[in-house]
Amino acid sequence: RAKSEGRARFVVYSAELDADPAERFDLDNGLRRAVERKELQLLYQPIVDLETGALVGMEALLRWNHPHRGVLSPATFIAVAEETGEIVRIGNWVLEEACRETARVQQLRPGLPLTVSVNISAAEFRQADLPGRVQRVLESTGLEPHALTLELTESVLLHDTAAAMASLDELGRLGVGLALDDFGTGYSSLSYLQRLPVDTLKVDQSFVGRLGADPTSGPLTRAIVEMGHALGMRVVAEGVETEWQLAYLREIGCQLGQGRLFAGPLASGQFRRLAASLRPAAAWGPLLRAG
Ligand code: C2E
Ligand code: MG
Ligand code: MG
Ligand code: MG
């Protein structure tokens, strides 16, 4: 578990942590100060056009550089932050930082059309003023609305449907993109999906990760991709790790992907260097080999 791992660079979620009130208290206390102490950091994972190999955007992924525990994954602290409400302050910081950084990268590389995806958790989404906040952040950072996509999970949308729909519609009117994250792990019905003003479907990495390993993951992934396209959505495969998975995804017409095959989550400096080194629409290394 996290404590005994000491200097571990990366700590995965453990159910034990969840159950230990002292740990929760500790995390909660630390989180309250994390924003002021600048212990939070965003990493950026490239999102790639699987057909052309072009870099089309990135997903902002949060890390907490904990003073004693090393780098913590959001899986260890988002749930606590949601319970205490601290997620709202953290989410504000994430949104602003991601938009500011994306505007900066766009300035460095004007020819490179990049969109940034920001994860929004349930408690943030339930806030009545989310669309207003998003609008203010776009104005203050100068980022075009269409360059921002908000990622939501099915569970976030299933509660409180009327308010959720109103919020989604308002965000849609602002011109920001909306993505359904971890798709395939929740319980949305097809008719519900059809009514959602969502433009992107993200195939959960558990499907992609099992491609080739079990006989049903391939057909299931294909069905999800085709369903997304039937609904007029863009489809992003998460967790692409192997050339084999890439070849399969291209074969079934999945347009977009992200995963360690291309790059893991990168620090902003690394991402900037990557963006600066790419010619517009230049193909990504693994795609050149695969294509
Ligand atoms: P997610 O949005 O589904 O993010 C994808 C996760 O897959 C990330 O984990 C990413 O690091 C990981 N990943 C990337 N490439 C690969 C790969 O090739 N294989 C595999 N197996 N995994 C890969 P991460 O960064 O630990 O984030 C976990 C979850 O935490 C995210 O899932 C998202 O739900 C949440 N999260 C991350 N950042 C934020 C944030 O700023 N705000 C909120 N509210 N939630 C966040
Ligand atoms: Mg996501
Ligand atoms: Mg996901
Ligand atoms: Mg996830």
User: In the predicted model, is pLDDT for residue 129 greater than 50?
Assistant: yes
Backbone region of residue 62 per phi and psi (left: phi > 0; alpha: psi in -120 to 50; beta: other values): beta
By DSSP bridging, strand 40-49 and strand 256-257 are antiparallel
CA distances from 264 to 39, 58, 97, 181, 244 (A): 20, 11, 19, 18, 18
Phi and psi, residue 45, nearest 5°? -100, 125
Q: Is 285 in contact with 263 (CB distance < 8 Å)?
A: no
First to last CA, the chain: 42
Distance from residue 143's CA to the centre of ligand 1 (Å): 23
Token readout for 111 is 């020819």
39: CA distance to ligand 3 center in Å?
24
Protein residue whose Cα sits closest to atom 34 of ligand 1? 119
Is the distance from CB of 208 to CB of 239 less than 8 angstroms?
yes
Please give the distance, rounded to the nearest whole angstrom, from the Cα atom of residue 284 to the centre of ligand 4: 24
> In which band, very low, low, confident or very high, does the pLDDT at 163 lie, cut at 50, 70 and 90?
confident
Least confident range from 5-9, 141-145, 193-197: namely: 5-9
Q: What is the 3-state secondary structure (H, E, C) of 32-85?
A: HHHCCCCCEEEEEEEEEECCCCCEEEEEEEEEEEECCCEEECHHHHHHHHHHHC
CB atoms within 10 A of CB 176: 23
Q: Which residue has its alpha carbon closest to ligand 1 atom 26?
A: 73
What's the rounded Cα separation, in Å, for the pair 51 and 191?
Answer: 30
Could you identify the residue written with the tokens 């347009």? 255
- pLDDT tens, position by position, 211-243: 988 999 999 999 999 999 999 999 999 999 999
Query: What is residue 160's predicted lDDT score, i.e. its pLDDT?
Result: 66
Residue tagged 């939070």 (tokens) = 40
Q: Are 117 and 59 in contact (CB under 8 A)?
A: yes
Is the torsion defined by CA of 211, 184, 286, 63 positive or negative? Answer: negative
Reference 179, options 155, 163, 191, 197; nearest CA is: 197
The pLDDT mean for the chain works out to 87
**pLDDT(164) > 80:** yes
Cα separation, 187 vs 199, whole angstroms: 18
> What is the rounded distance in angstroms from the CA atom of residue 25 to the CA atom of residue 156?
25
- The predicted-structure confidence for 259-282, as pLDDT tens digits, reads as follows 999 999 999 999 999 988 876 666
Q: What is the pTM of this model?
A: 0.91
**pLDDT reading at 6 higher than 60:** no
Centre of ligand 2 to C-alpha 231, Å, is: 20
Ligand 1: residue of 13, 71, 205, 249 to mutate (most ligand atoms within 8 A of CB) is 205
* Cβ neighbour number for residue 275 with a 10 Å cutoff: 18
ipTM over 0.85: yes
57-112 per-position pLDDT tens digit: 999 999 999 998 999 999 999 999 998 889 999 999 999 999 999 999 999 888 78
Model confidence over 177-194: pLDDT tens digits? 999 999 988 877 788 888
